[in-house]
């Protein structure tokens, strides 16, 4: 039996904890039990949750000394460092050979413990900038659903915790065993793409009056050719000046910005229409379905067809 222990702290997210409990903590008919699941906390007793009700946790940090896998199912607020006893317990578990994994913001705890230094890791897309700034020794992967190094693993946002847990089961028990669990959960054993397909880019906050009209003008004309020279000439500046303003205010080049707007417009059409890919490609200025697929996959890690199946907001024919 493989013993999995989740470490929680107030206020605990019930969803991230439930992801782990659902995969590792249930007995399923027809499937031999190969995991035991427990929960511990620094101060045993009533642990408040984000859902408004407390959970009773009777085991303290010593439970981690008996775990084969230690899970950190989220950690809030992310700016709050874990207490030294928590850090020491995680380091001790890892040093003796336990696998240590995090779901969503739990990556902050693993990073505080130094378990991610010099390694790739991920966390929720809304927290990756804060994570990267706080832990410069960690190689942050912003797009993937999870990263697994064998001894240490991290997942993206909350739902990606299920992806990571199923992956860990597949590593331990094989694809057949994992498929049985996934089927009982009505989940795919493996999802396509990364987490950026679920993220909405935040509007830039540093755009001033010199650039905003240009962005509005270009965004309304994505189907037309939009070269750096075209944009610069339209607004009476040199291409070099235009590139400098984009870099200062958006951190990217004009060409990168135009491409990102075209991919974003394609996402909206895939979500809201049944238009063929060639038509969508022409409407957003990507010329062909082949070009759309290439740029879409590069930006979001998935195909337009898979994205539409996941995010289509209106059923075909309605």
Tell me the catalytic residues: 104
Cβ partners under 8 Å of residue 291, min gap 6: 281
Q: What are phi and psi of 79, to 5 degrees?
A: -80, -5
Q: Where are the alpha helices (DSSP H) in the chain?
A: 14-24, 84-95, 107-112, 128-134, 160-173, 175-185, 212-219, 228-234, 239-250, 254-272, 277-283, 289-300, 304-311
DSSP 98: -
Half-sphere exposure of 84 (CA within 13 A, CB side): 0
Going along the chain, which residue ranges are E strands?
Answer: 2-8, 35-41, 45-47, 55-57, 69-73, 99-103, 120-121, 139-140, 146-148, 152-155
Nearest to 108 by CA among 88, 128, 85: 128
Cα–Cα dist 248/209, whole Å: 13
Cα–Cα dist 2/23, whole Å: 13
Q: What are phi and psi of 264, to 5 degrees?
A: -65, -40
| Strand, helix or coil for residue 4 | strand
Identify the burial level of 22 via C-beta atoms within 10 angstroms of its C-beta, where 0-12 means exposed, 13-18 middle and 19 or more buried.
Answer: middle
């Amino acid at each position: 039996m493989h013993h999995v222990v989740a470490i929680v702290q107030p206020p605990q997210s019930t969803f991230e904890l439930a992801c782990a409990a659902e995969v590792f903590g249930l007995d399923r008919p027809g499937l031999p039990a190969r995991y035991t699941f427990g929960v511990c906390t620094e101060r045993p007793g009533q642990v408040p949750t984000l859902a408004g009700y407390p959970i009773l946790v009777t085991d303290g940090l010593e439970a981690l000394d008996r775990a084969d896998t230690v899970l950190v199912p989220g950690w809030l607020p992310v700016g709050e460092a874990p207490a030294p006893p928590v850090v020491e317990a995680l380091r001790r578990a890892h040093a003796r050979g336990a696998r240590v994994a995090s779901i969503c913001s739990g990556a902050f705890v693993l990073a505080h413990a130094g378990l991610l230094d010099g390694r790739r890791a991920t966390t929720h897309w809304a927290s990756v900038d804060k994570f990267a700034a706080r832990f410069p020794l960690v190689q942050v992967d912003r797009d993937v659903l999870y990263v697994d190094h064998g001894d240490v693993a991290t997942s993206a946002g909350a739902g990606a915790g299920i992806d990571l847990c199923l992956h860990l089961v597949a590593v331990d028990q094989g694809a057949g065993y994992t498929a049985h669990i996934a089927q009982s959960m009505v989940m795919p054993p493996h999802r396509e793409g990364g987490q950026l397909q679920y993220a909405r880019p935040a509007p830039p906050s540093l755009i001033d009056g010199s650039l905003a009209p240009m962005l509005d003008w270009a965004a309304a004309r994505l189907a037309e050719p939009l070269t750096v020279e075209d944009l610069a000439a339209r607004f009476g500046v040199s291409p070099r000046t235009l590139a400098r303003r984009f870099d200062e205010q958006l951190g990217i080049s004009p060409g990168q910005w135009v491409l990102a707007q075209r991919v974003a417009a394609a996402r909206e059409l895939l979500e809201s229409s049944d238009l063929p890919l060639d038509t969508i490609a022409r409407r957003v200025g990507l010329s062909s379905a082949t070009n759309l697929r290439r740029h879409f996959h590069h930006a979001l890690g998935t195909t337009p067809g898979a994205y539409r199946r996941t995010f289509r907001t209106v059923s075909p024919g309605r």
